[in-house]
Structure 1
Amino acid sequence: MLKLMFLVLFCSWSSSAMIRIPLRRVRSIRTRLRADGLLQEFVRHHHPDMFNRRYAQCFPPGTPSLRLGRSSEKIYNFMDAQYFGEISIGTPEQNFSVVFDTGSADLWVPSYYCVSQACALHQRFRAFESSSFNSDGRMFGIHYGSGHLLGVMARETLRIGDLKILNQEFGESVYEPGAAFVMAKFDGVLGLAYPALAEIVGNPVFDSMMVQKSVDQPVFSFYLSRRTSSGYPEGELLLGGIDEALHSGPINWLPVTSKIYWQIKMDSLAVQGARSFCSQGCQAIVDTGTSLITGPTSDILVLQQLIGATPTNIGEFLIDCARLSSLPHVTFVLGSVEYRLTAEQYTRKEALGDRELCFSGFQAVDLVTSEGPLWILGDVFLTEYYSVFDRGQDRVGFALARH
């Protein structure tokens, strides 16, 4: 029935708008913690096994995880979030910066009544100042590590660019423990995954846009860049369409294999002239809210060795910056098309004092499902390839990004 409803909506779509949301790129929270000497302390106090109630249904007790665990909102992975944009909630408008996250499905911002230190450092929603506010009263919780995010549900008028969404379900967080939120540049999160992943009851934001026919097409696309160049934005989310000027070549489309995350089949992954992984095919999540590329521990540890990365005592992997030009490239095969990353592209250069360090863009995360382990294609991949998310035909598209 749900599939039929979306088919009808897609076939009878009325032209409304395409909304461009500029995305800002900032130093990741991981970088800021590292620069301040706080990363080791953060890792010591935050356990990596971050599975919430939804994951408890999918993963057996004791499922191992290395450094970057996940919950349905990927709170821990927000340490690495780099790209965020602006929205407003309420009447009159109250502005917030949010991560536009394809790895979660909820919208939440801090409440005025939040008691955590993190909320005091960010914009907080003042429900009592909005004439369009509708209280729900129900609580929601997003679990992670040594604590959890708690909040209450509500409905409000949401504005993204020139687009207005009425009666949008969202969460007001009232308790945000942990250093990650304190260090975050963003106020909240706007999830763009499928409704099945949502903790907050009601339509996720893009589903509301589709129901209210607020966009030209049931499609949104991301352009992310870690380069600074004239003529191209740091990042852009386009709601309702595709920007042909921000990519080159044809778009390669892959069907969504599980309508929870934006999950696709990955044919294989190979390190130049050395070894192939996932040779029989495996599943991957396309996730704008994760900065790294992640995969099963057994594969990632071998891959780190093949690209010359050495471990540190806090779980990071370092690469000799002077050797980048001689290191092998890593190739992902998706829908029979090769997507190659050079060493310059899969490493992250960061200045610590007068030194430049190069960190591997790969991270071990064990996410095991009935279909096998999941890989995550995060921003290290998505900065090189323009990504399109099509809810009308349940598919993900990639093309070479213009930089």
Structure 2
Amino acid sequence: MRWIGFLSLVALSECLVTIPLTKIKSMRESLREKDLLTDYLQRHPYSHAYRFLSGEGVTVHPMRNFLDLYYVGTISIGTPPQEFKVIFDTGSADLLVPSIYCSSPICVTHRTFDPRASSTFQSTDQPIELPYGSGKVTGRLGYDDVRIGDLVCKSQAFGLSWLELSLSLEFTAYDGILGLAYPALALRNTTPVFDSMWNQGLISENLFAFYLSSNEKNGSVVMFGGVDPSYYRGELQWVPVSEQGYWQVTVDSISMDSKVVACADSCQAFMDTGTSLVIGPTNSVLNILRNISAQNTSTSWYVVSCEAIHSLPDIVFTINGVAYPVPASAYIRREQTGICYPNLDTDTSDSSSLWVLGDAFLRLYFTVFDRANNRIGLAPVIA
């Protein structure tokens, strides 16, 4: 954050009788159609039904959509388990939660980890300092068992914050962050959570995937160890990772109405589930804002006519030769005040040329993060 289960059919040879088969909806499919799947998984996280829905070697973990701003799932740390709500963030690589030793106002409004209450906690004297787009966190490194659904990572490294410098985090609906980027971004000499899953033999495939729901709907999930094809249409299109830190790829171009508006000579971008917007270099984003007639306000926020949403062109990201259109209904958000804002922002950090494809993009495309082959798979979500 900068701020399968699948059904296998066994063919029986030498059968003397042919029986017509009728497709029966699975329990998961029925719950999803009624928008009840996330609530069910949250109420029965460790039941046999949950493992059936997940599939052998695959864990499907529910997340809640908060106003299309971020997606939060529940994990637990320690023995007995202490629960925390976290963002599963592909833009960072560390697990971080507040500790009881944190004196910041942010920690007062969130759950805090008590090392004294866990029989499996291992302390260290290693200090940590983690910069995030929304602030800076300092604290200490510790080790304990981390549970995500039916997965338990033994002796997992994680950060316990003692000081959190960000007013914007004080009233968030999540306590911490669980990073899913490459180990290159992790704290020195630590193993990130996903790498622990694989190293400890908890998952059958060295990958994870995201389905992000829209407009506060239920059903958002992160899945570890496999891919459920019922969440997307067509075939996954694979994109090689260009640099193994962030989940970074090469973008061929960015266009509107068949005209290139940014990234004319290709550029770099990374998929970030911990960022709500699409972020890019200042000049490129301003060019797109001009193309949609966005107006700057006295607060420096850009606004767009809500009536224009249905007539504005798609922003098309061409990646590895495949076009990924983002319609105006996705790159513009309507607030309760009736004002419409672009889901676009400029990168103010050291004139970075990187693009960040956040949730505004990822809600449209089921995304597979394949560590085994260092690639990302994309396919349109099933609405």
> TM-score under structure 2 normalisation?
0.82
CA distance in 1 between counterparts of 2:163 and 2:295 reads 38
- Number of residue-to-residue matches in the alignment: 329
CA shift for structure 1 position 334? 0.8
Match of 2:288 among 303, 307, 316: 303
SS of equivalent residue, structure 1 residue 248: coil
CA contact (8 A) 1:140 1:200 kept: no
CA shift for structure 1 position 218? 0.6
Partner residue, 2:13: none
For the structure 1 residues 221 and 129, does the alpha-carbon distance in structure 2 shift closer, same or farther, using more than 3 Å as the test?
same
Partner residue, 1:399: 379
CA shift for structure 1 position 137? 1.9
Partner residue, 1:17: 57
Match of 1:92 among 80, 96, 115: 80
Is 1:358 the counterpart of 2:340? The answer is yes
CA shift for structure 1 position 366? 5.0
Is 1:290 the counterpart of 2:275? The answer is yes
Match of 1:219 among 200, 203, 207: 207
Fraction of identical pairs, as percent? 39
CA distance in 1 between counterparts of 2:335 and 2:165 reads 27
Residues 3-402 of structure 1 aligned to structure 2 (within 5 Å): 17-27=57-67, 81-143=69-131, 148-199=136-187, 201-227=189-215, 233-352=218-337, 356-366=338-348, 373-402=353-382
CA distance in 1 between counterparts of 2:216 and 2:163 reads 36
Q: CA RMSD in A?
A: 1.9
CA distance in 2 between counterparts of 1:96 and 1:146 reads 19
Task: Provide structure 1 residue ranges, at least 5 long, that are not aligned to the other structure.
Answer: 1-14, 29-80
CA distance in 1 between counterparts of 2:187 and 2:242 reads 21
CA distance in 1 between counterparts of 2:101 and 2:174 reads 18
CA shift for structure 1 position 367? 5.7
CA distance in 2 between counterparts of 1:146 and 1:164 reads 29
Comparing 123-132 and 305-314, the one that deviates more? 305-314
Q: Which amino acid is 1:153 matched to?
A: L
CA shift for structure 1 position 290? 0.6
CA contact (8 A) 1:16 1:214 kept: no
Task: Give per-residue Cα distances to partners, 1:319-363, cap 9 Å, x unaligned.
Answer: 1111111112111101111111111121111102xxx12110111
Q: Which amino acid is 1:226 matched to?
A: S
CA distance in 1 between counterparts of 2:311 and 2:71 reads 30
> TM-score under structure 1 normalisation?
0.78
For the structure 1 residues 176 and 200, does the alpha-carbon distance in structure 2 shift closer, same or farther, using more than 3 Å as the test?
farther
Q: Which amino acid is 2:317 matched to?
A: F
For the structure 1 residues 345 and 162, does the alpha-carbon distance in structure 2 shift closer, same or farther, using more than 3 Å as the test?
same
Comparing 293-302 and 308-317, the one that deviates more? 308-317
Task: Give per-residue Cα distances to partners, 1:64-102, cap 9 Å, x unaligned.
Answer: xxxxxxxxxxxxxxxxx5111000000001000000000
Task: Provide structure 2 residue ranges, at least 5 long, that are not aligned to the other structure.
Answer: 1-54
